[in-house]
Amino acid sequence: MLSQRSIESIVGLFLVFAILLLMVLAFKVSGLTSFFKTEGYTVTAIFDEIGQLRVRSAVKMGGVTIGEVTAINLDPKSYKAIVQMRIRSAMSDIPSDSSASILTAGLLGDNYIAITPMYSTIFLKEGSQIDETHSAMILEKLIGQLLFKIGNSGKSTDTAKGAKQ
């Protein structure tokens, strides 16, 4: 029969092991660590406007997640956003003339990159760049443009009436 001290030691070791497993699980789920780096290749795209796109945002094709955004930097010369994406190695046949768009999940959801495949027989590989990009639609800018047009449409009719009189 085990002594009280042996039972307490076994329970303590079990608790330490359980806490370590929970920490590994937390890091894995949060994506804050590179312990479990997925195999794949890095692709770059340059956008005029990225909106609320963040590192670890999804990269999707046909609605299916095929990778994630790994880095976002600003080009000091052109002042455009350089976005690096890690694509899973299982998706090794994406045509090189594909386009990348920044879309929003729902009306006010998170931004993600949608890749639209084209028809080239040459495929993206490590270090490739997607040349055809479509920037994010910024809801605040669209509302501002709408209000500006509504405000100007009233002035143009008033000016036209004054010119006729």
Give the tokens for residue 155. 């002035």
Three-state DSSP state, 36 = coil
pTM: 0.70
Predicted pLDDT of residue 81: 95
pLDDT, mean of residues 135-147: 85
pLDDT in tens, 81-115: 999 999 999 998 999 999 999 998 877 778 999 99
Could you tell me the two tokens for 63?
A: 């609605």
Strands (E), 54-98: 58-61, 64-74, 81-88
Provide DSSP, 91-130: ----BTT-EEEEEESTTT--EEEEEE--S-SSB--TTEEE
**Cβ atoms 65, 59 nearer than 8 A:** yes
Query: 3-state DSSP call for residue 153?
Result: helix
**CB-count burial class (<10 Å; 0-12, 13-18, 19+) for 103:** middle
pLDDT at 62: 92
**Both structure tokens of 65:** 């997640």
The pLDDT of residue 17 is above 70: yes
156, pLDDT greater than 60: no
